[in-house]
Structure 1
Amino acid sequence: MDKKRISVIGVPMDLGQMRRGVDMGPSAIRYAGVIEHLEHLGHIIEDLGDIQITPAERVHTAETNLRNLEAVADGNTKLADIVNNVISNGDFPLILGGDHSIAIGTLAGVSQHYKNLGVIWYDAHGDLNTGETSPSGNIHGMPLAVSLGIGHPTLVNIHGYAPKVKPQNIVIIGARSLDDGECRLIKEKGIRVYTMHEIDRLGMTKIMEETIQYLKEKTDGVHLSLDLDGLDPSDAPGVGTPVIGGLSYRESHLAMEMLEESEMITSAEFVEVNPILDERNKTATVAVALMCSLFGEKLL
């Protein structure tokens, strides 16, 4: 296993949704020992601390159907700047969330460095809503659409360019809760999606083999965006939007192990850990264990 220089970035963002507590996710993940575990694997870790998130009045603007638009955009612009600098320095950015709206900033910072960035979206949800299709106006349900160049200009144009990723370079794994507008967009853009039906039917090994082959043929870097609600709530209870019938702890480890063996992941984020909703920091501990598999931990 290649030893990496990993820059850890905490993003205590809770403005992309309505449930409080996910802003404590980065602290919970650090408390679960992410730095120590990755150092034990031999990687060189620099913890850059947490991005300062501007307090907001938690507003829902009727004209846009977007909650906390300006504050979310501000936080993601800061994140994009830091991620861009980390990659420019030759380091691997590992982002700790925070709600999934932070993927807007992550991808804005990452995609500047790749002509054909691939994205693995490990999530119960598609996060492909816009202000027009979202039932809630929560921006954490929109980051993948935004990164495709679809959505409010304030979000789409962070760092001055769009789109950040092409639809043919995306694979969604674990989907089991999609809104009507998201289903239409998936079909329109031809986005590859492995729902729980395909995972149950084909098995995780086959899904990951297909995903790796599909992306290796067309990308020069791959970002992993892992939402802990992709896992079943029995394994990851501390998330804001749990959906039963999800990926198992063991399936998720296998996925991370296969991605590590593929040597294709060039950046990663782990999001939606909410310690207020958790059981003895179980979800943060799961997140750390999956990170360790992604970065090369083996039993023997």
Structure 2
Amino acid sequence: MNKKIAIIGVPMDMGQQRRGVDMGPSAIRYAGVVERLEELGYEIEDVGDLEIGKREKTIIERSNLRNLKAVLEANELLHERVSDVMKKGMFPLVLGGDHSIAMGTLAGVAEHFQNLGVIWYDAHGDLNTEETSPSGNIHGMPLAVSLGMGHPSLTNIGGYSPKLKPENVVIIGARALDEGEKELIKKVGIKTYTMHEVDRLGMTTVMEETIAYLKERTDGVHLSLDLDGLDPDHAPGVGTPVAGGLTYRESHLAMEMLAESGIITSAEFVEVNPILDEKNRTAQVAVALMGSLFGEKLL
């Protein structure tokens, strides 16, 4: 894996309605991410946090999209920051913030690959559009947007669309899918391992299949890891917890196998909300998983 890592903080809390997730990047830094990765031999450049605009008072008229303007502006800025980092030959490690920031991350990463693959490690599909979303929260839409589906201002972040092909995406850990998302997964053929498949096959098989599948068809792979992919018992500090999730140990195994595969070319860790957390426990989990992703071993 690339030994030069650029850390980009995105204190975004406007893709959803619960406050506090904007403090996620600070909590992850406080949990020792820089020190942990430096101990593994990586050269770290923390480029700081993006400046985020103000929360909008109402949903834009005739649009089921909360805080569209501010979310859009932040993701355009993130696109530029991530792309610049990649031009310098560095690995972008993005710290969220809510999951709406994946739109900007993927816009910045995808323009550097012909066939970018994505592992979406999440309890949710994030495949809603303004037509299907029950809430209007943009953090439930970034994967759909990156596939070219949704509001034109969002799908065209970075000046191009789509960023991804559905056959280059693997969702792992899903257990809270809206009806529109289920239909879309089946319609476009997104490879999905719900908790049913994880329980039935085991994480080792899930990751072996995922790695083999993406190696065949992509020239780079982005990991988008939402901490609510883990069970709330292991990661309590998230805005949309869903019981019955991935365990701490399963998640470490997944990260360890990705490290061994060498396929990951960028990553983001999102939805750490310190206000809802227990003594910064979820940020500590995020940092521990980053350690495994970047090659930390038990022995």
Q: TM-score range by the shorter chain?
A: over 0.9
**Counterpart for residue 151 of structure 1:** 150
Matches within 5 A, 1:215-230: 215-230=214-229
Deviations 1:13-54 (A, max 9, x none): 000000000000000000000001100111000000000001
Q: 1:217 to 1:29 in 2, by over 3 A?
A: same
Q: Identity over aligned residues, as a percent? A: 74
Deviation at 1:60, TM superposition (A): 1.4
Q: SS at 1:250's partner residue?
A: helix
What is aligned with 1:73?
Answer: 72
- Which consecutive unaligned segments of at least 5 residues does structure 1 have? none
Counterpart contact for 2:252–2:289, Cα < 8 Å: yes
Structure 1 pair 154–240 and aligned structure 2 pair: CA distance change class (3 A): same
Give distance in 1, aligned partners of 2:214 and 2:57.
38
Residue 62 of structure 1 deviates from its aligned partner by 4.1
| RMSD, aligned α-carbons | 0.7
Q: How many residues align?
A: 299
SS in structure 1 opposite 2:210?
A: helix
> Shift of the alpha carbon at 1:197?
0.2
Counterparts of 1:97-116 in structure 2 under 5 Å? Answer: 97-116=96-115
Instruction: Give the match for residue 121 of structure 1.
Output: 120
Aligned residue for 1:254? 253
1:163 counterpart SS class = coil
8 Å Cα contact 1:231/1:247 also seen in 2: yes
CA–CA distance in structure 2, aligned partners of residues 186 and 298 of structure 1: 35
In structure 2, distance between residues paired with 1:225 and 1:159: 19
Deviation at 1:56, TM superposition (A): 2.5
CA contact (8 A) 1:123 1:174 kept: yes
Q: In the alignment, what sits opposite 2:285?
A: 286
Measure the CA separation in 2 of the matches of 1:103 and 1:295. 20
Structure 1 residues 165-180: aligned runs within 5 Å: 165-180=164-179
Give 1:1-300 correspondences, 5 Å limit.
Answer: 4-300=3-299
Contact 1:147–1:165 (CA<8 Å) still a contact in 2? Answer: yes
CA drift of 1:273 comes to 0.1
Q: Which whole-Å CA distance do the structure 2 matches of 1:123 and 1:161 have between them?
A: 25
Q: Does the CA contact (< 8 Å) of 2:20 and 2:274 recur in 1?
A: yes
Deviations 1:83-110 (A, max 9, x none): 0000010000000000000000000000
Instruction: Report the 3-state secondary structure (helix = DSSP H, G, I; strand = E; otherwise coil) of the residue aligned with 1:66.
Output: coil
Give SS of 1:113's match.
coil
> Which stretches in structure 2 are left out of the alignment for 5+ residues?
none
* Alignment partners' CA distance in 2, 1:214 and 1:133: 29
CA distance in structure 2 between the aligned counterparts of 1:261 and 1:234, rounded to whole angstroms: 27
The residue matched to 1:78 in structure 2 has which SS? Answer: helix
- Report the 3-state secondary structure (helix = DSSP H, G, I; strand = E; otherwise coil) of the residue aligned with 1:199: helix
The TM-score normalised by the length of structure 2 is 0.99
Partners of 1:253 and 1:18 in 2: CA distance? 30
SS at match of 2:243: coil
Q: Distance in 2 between matches of 1:61 and 1:280?
A: 37
Give yes or no for contact 2:56–2:66 (8 Å, CA) kept in 1.
no
Contact 1:235 1:249 survives alignment (8 Å): yes
AA aligned opposite 1:209 = E
**Partners of 1:3 and 1:42 within 8 A in 2:** no
Contact 1:3 1:44 in 2 (8 A): no
Could you give the per-residue CA deviations for residues 144-192 of structure 1, whole angstroms, max 9, x where no partner exists? 0000000001100011100000000000000000001001110110000
Displacement, 1:12? 0.1
SS in 1 for 2:172: strand
Decide whether the 8 Å contact of 2:2 with 2:90 is kept in 1.
no
Structure 2 distance, partners of 1:167, 1:251, is 25
TM-score (norm 1): 0.99
Q: Deviations over 1:200-223 (max 9, x none)?
A: 000000000000000000000000
Divergent runs of 4+, >4 A:
none
Equivalent position SS for 2:7: strand
Q: Secondary structure at the match of 2:13?
A: coil
Q: CA deviation at 1:235?
A: 0.2
Would the aligned equivalents of 2:2 and 2:91 in 1 still touch at CA under 8 Å? no
Look up the equivalent residue of 2:255 and give its one-letter code: M
Cα offset, 1:58, TM superposition = 4.1
Within 1, Cα distance between the matches of 2:135 and 2:160?
Answer: 27
- Given that residues 24 and 98 in structure 1 are in contact (C-alpha distance below 8 angstroms), is that contact kept between their aligned partners in structure 2? yes
* Corresponding residue SS for 2:85: helix
How far 1:59 moved relative to its partner?
2.6
